[in-house]
């Protein structure tokens, strides 16, 4: 009962953090970030009239207040009532709470300092960390995690016979190598996604989203000229476009390596992840074709967050499988 | 050191700190009165705002008389002209003000954007025309403030000019809240909440800058442009596209015409004392 409550609660918190990200995307996409010029109050009130851009900005603040409280409660529940022995889980829940508090402070500062790109971009980058932390907490409270980290019932990993005649040992060893290889590729791809998200945040907050107004061409040319590169916003925009190519290639490679992992859930995750990233690239192009239509830019940001968290969750699961004893049990289950 | 002596020193330090704080507060008080303070002229601001609409958009070099030795000169010459739009008149982009019930009530139905306003005989309104170069000397900021009013969920005027250091009076004549957010590159930006009808703020732009965008983040369609110059020789075209830059001293000037969507154009004009010279501009879509 207690575990079920924790499972549902942590998943709900992670989903609400995602909702908070979408609310933040609505603020930037509708350019409502300064519709409320004061902070922490809004026009000196707790509840101003929800008109125009205030609906998005104050709505984001209200969602943030609610979600921050829930992240705090999650941390409290994990720390004091539920998971007395799981240090990592407690640490992650505490980090999520600390990060969301810092996030609130950055949100306030960016309003008070009129959206300086450095603070606004840091706000966007930290939001992804908060989402990842709450998602990992939810994963670590799930049945999937319990299965992944279950100790092998009989012999420890090091006692497995390593003679060439033992085909099962060879098979296990090969599966372990595939898991390690997948871990490396997923780690690289996930890091690339995060860098790409930060580049996107800087592009968005420096107003460079349409610095190159056409796609896939660059100012009606297939290769950007040097004179074009000196235009404001073009370098960061170009970096985000090139980053997208790198991310798609890396995720496709990581997805391929995931298919060899002896955990059915992770093996199945590869194609979904690759599909998400390809759709994300299409949304990026669509945001240019539509001159930054609000629904498309919001969807682009939301899907970017999902791609990132998918990578993080896959990485954490692979990390658990990479543990020799867990790898053995996973291989046996496979 | 004895206990009473320590207490005496502590008391003396506290007194000095209090005195210093009081002096600093006293020094800063005037600035607070001048800027950033909502004057909340609830009763009178609405009428005042309406009367002053467009006042800043017409150039007024009258305040440059009290000049020192390095003061720039004024004269009786003028540059006048008409700015026209050539080509097919683009269809005005329509939108609804439904995001705010007050605005929707002020403008029921579709509203046209103000960015390309073409009047009779294709005269182009809201073009900022100013002397870009050829002016020597310094000109003091006029004592009369420029005014921008938030009325009917639009800015009045949409394009205006002012002299660096001149006060800008910002009014809210609407019975809804606005924020007024300036986006300068050379001056200090501001973002002020104006939740009450009749509120008034006074701000300044200290450095010349052409142009500064002003926007309301609550109502995304609201935007205005302000040209800040070091001299008072500017004008904004009227609805029929005409303008006059008055009180120029004799000389050769580069005149620039700026439009928010159609870009800029320049011309050189030489005027003699008490002479009036024409300078017409033609803007084309996508030029």
Please, what is the end-to-end C-alpha distance for chain A in angstroms?
A: 29
CA distance B218 to chain A (A): 4
Which ipTM score applies to this complex?
0.81
CA distance B213 to chain A (A): 14
- Pairwise CA distance, residues B284 & B262, whole Å: 7
Closest-approach residue (CA) in chain B for A31: B217
Q: What is the pTM of this model?
A: 0.81
* Range from A141-145, A291-295, B51-55, B179-183 carrying the lowest mean pLDDT: B51-55
Whose CA is closest to A309, among A8, A2, A9, A21?
A21
Residues on chain A touching B217 (C-beta within 8 angstroms): 31-35, 52-53, 57
| Residues B218, A54: C-beta atoms closer than 8 Å | yes
**Structure tokens belonging to residue B30:** 């005037």
**Structure tokens belonging to residue A271:** 């194609």
- Pairwise CA distance, residues A173 & A169, whole Å: 6
For residue B11, count CB atoms less than 10 angstroms from its CB and return exposed for 0-12, middle for 13-18, buried for 19 or more. exposed
- For strand B281-284 and strand B77-86, is the pairing parallel, antiparallel, or unpaired? parallel
- Of the candidates A33, A44, A52, which has its C-beta nearest B99's C-beta? A52
| Residues A52, B179: C-beta atoms closer than 8 Å | no
Q: Are B52 and B44 in contact (CB under 8 A)?
A: no
| Residues A51, B99: C-beta atoms closer than 8 Å | yes
| Residues A51, B100: C-beta atoms closer than 8 Å | yes
**Structure tokens belonging to residue B13:** 């330090």
Residue the block writes with tokens 């024409």: B278
- Pairwise CA distance, residues A304 & A327, whole Å: 30
Residues on chain B touching A52 (C-beta within 8 angstroms): 99-100, 103, 216-220
For residue A332, is pLDDT > 70? no
Chain A: which residues have CB within 8 Å of chain B? 30-38, 43-44, 48-49, 51-55, 57, 114
Q: Are B175 and B163 in contact (CB under 8 A)?
A: no
Mutation pick from B36, B106, B154, B179 vs chain A, by most beta carbons of A within 10 Å, is B179
Going residue by residue through chain B (287 aa), what tens digit of pLDDT does each one get?
Answer: 444 444 545 444 444 443 343 333 333 333 333 344 444 433 333 333 333 344 343 444 444 444 444 678 888 899 999 999 998 888 778 888 988 999 999 888 888 887 888 888 899 999 999 999 999 889 999 999 999 999 999 999 999 999 999 999 999 999 999 999 999 999 999 999 999 999 999 999 999 999 999 999 999 999 999 999 999 999 999 999 999 999 999 999 999 999 999 999 999 999 999 899 999 999 987 65
Residues on chain B touching A34 (C-beta within 8 angstroms): 179, 181, 191, 217
CA A219 vs CA A207, A216, A248: distances in Å: 17, 10, 23
| Residues A37, B193: C-beta atoms closer than 8 Å | yes
SS3 assignment, position A19: helix
Residues on chain A touching B195 (C-beta within 8 angstroms): 43-44, 48
Whose CA is closest to A77, among A10, A20, A14?
A10
| Residues A52, B218: C-beta atoms closer than 8 Å | yes
Q: What are B75's strand-pairing partners?
A: none
Chain B: which residues have CB within 8 Å of chain A? 99-103, 176-177, 179, 181, 189-193, 195, 216-220
Length of chain B: 287
- What confidence score (pLDDT) does residue B14 get? 43
| Residues A36, B189: C-beta atoms closer than 8 Å | no
Residues on chain B touching A31 (C-beta within 8 angstroms): 217, 220
**Structure tokens belonging to residue A306:** 């999902």
Q: Is the dihedral of CA A222, A223, A225, A229 positive or negative?
A: positive
CA distance B105 to chain A (A): 14
- Pairwise CA distance, residues B202 & B169, whole Å: 5
């Amino acid at each position: 009962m207690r575990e079920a409550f924790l499972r549902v609660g942590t998943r709900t918190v992670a989903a609400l953090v995602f909702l908070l990200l979408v609310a933040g995307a609505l603020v930037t996409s509708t350019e409502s970030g300064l519709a409320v010029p004061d902070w922490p109050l809004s026009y000196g009130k707790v509840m101003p009239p929800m008109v125009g851009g205030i609906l998005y900005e104050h709505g984001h603040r209200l969602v943030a207040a609610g979600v921050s409280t829930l992240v705090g409660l999650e941390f409290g529940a994990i720390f004091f009532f539920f998971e007395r022995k799981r240090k990592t889980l407690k640490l992650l829940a505490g980090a999520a709470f600390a990060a969301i508090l810092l996030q609130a402070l950055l949100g306030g500062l960016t309003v008070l300092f009129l959206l300086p790109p450095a603070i606004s971009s840091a706000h966007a980058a930290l939001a992804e960390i908060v989402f990842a932390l709450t998602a990992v907490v939810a994963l670590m409270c799930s049945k999937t995690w319990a299965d992944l980290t279950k100790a092998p019932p009989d012999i420890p990993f090091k006692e497995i016979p390593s003679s060439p005649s033992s085909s099962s040992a060879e098979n296990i060893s090969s599966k372990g190598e595939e898991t390690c290889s997948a871990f490396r590729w997923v780690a690289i791809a996930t890091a690339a996604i995060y860098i790409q998200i930060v580049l996107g945040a800087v592009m968005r907050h420096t107003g460079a989203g349409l610095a190159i107004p056409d796609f896939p061409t660059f100012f009606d040319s297939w290769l950007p000229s040097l004179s074009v590169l000196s235009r404001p916003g073009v370098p960061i925009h170009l970096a985000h476009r090139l980053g997208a190519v790198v991310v798609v290639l890396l995720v496709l490679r990581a997805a391929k390596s995931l298919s060899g992992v002896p955990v059915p859930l992770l093996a199945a995750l590869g194609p979904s992840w690759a599909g998400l990233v390809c759709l994300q690239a299409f949304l990026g192009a669509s945001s240019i074709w539509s001159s930054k239509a609000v629904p498309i830019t919001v969807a682009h940001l939301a899907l970017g967050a999902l791609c990132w968290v998918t990578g993080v969750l896959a990485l954490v699961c692979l990390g658990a499988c990479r543990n020799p004893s867990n790898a053995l049990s996973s291989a046996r289950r496979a | 050191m004895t206990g009473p002596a320590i207490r005496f020193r502590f008391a003396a330090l506290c007194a000095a700190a209090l005195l210093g704080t009081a002096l600093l507060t006293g020094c800063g008080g005037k600035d607070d009165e001048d800027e950033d303070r909502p004057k909340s002229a609830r009763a009178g601001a609405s009428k005042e705002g309406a009367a002053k609409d467009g006042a800043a958009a017409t150039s007024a070099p009258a305040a440059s008389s009290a000049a020192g030795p390095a003061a720039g000169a004024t004269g009786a010459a003028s540059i006048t002209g008409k700015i026209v739009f050539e080509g097919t008149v683009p269809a005005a982009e329509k939108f609804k003000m439904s995001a705010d019930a007050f605005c929707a009530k002020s403008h029921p139905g579709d509203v046209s954007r103000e960015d390309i306003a073409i009047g009779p005989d294709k005269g182009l309104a809201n073009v900022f025309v100013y002397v870009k170069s050829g002016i020597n000397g310094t000109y003091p900021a006029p004592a009369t403030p420029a005014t921008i009013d938030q009325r009917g969920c639009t800015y009045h005027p949409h394009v205006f000019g002012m002299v660096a250091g001149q006060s800008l009076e910002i009014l809210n004549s609407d019975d809804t809240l606005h924020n007024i957010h300036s986006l300068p590159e050379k001056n200090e930006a501001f973002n002020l909440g104006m939740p009450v009808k009749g509120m008034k703020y006074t701000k300044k732009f200290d450095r010349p800058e052409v142009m500064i965008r002003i926007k309301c983040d609550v109502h995304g369609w609201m935007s205005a442009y302000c040209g800040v110059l070091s001299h008072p020789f500017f004008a904004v075209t009227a609805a029929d596209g005409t303008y006059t830059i008055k009180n120029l001293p004799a000389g050769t000037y580069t005149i620039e015409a700026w439009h928010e969507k159609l870009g800029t154009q320049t011309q050189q004009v030489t005027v003699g004392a008490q002479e009036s010279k024409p300078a017409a501009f033609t803007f084309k879509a996508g030029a």
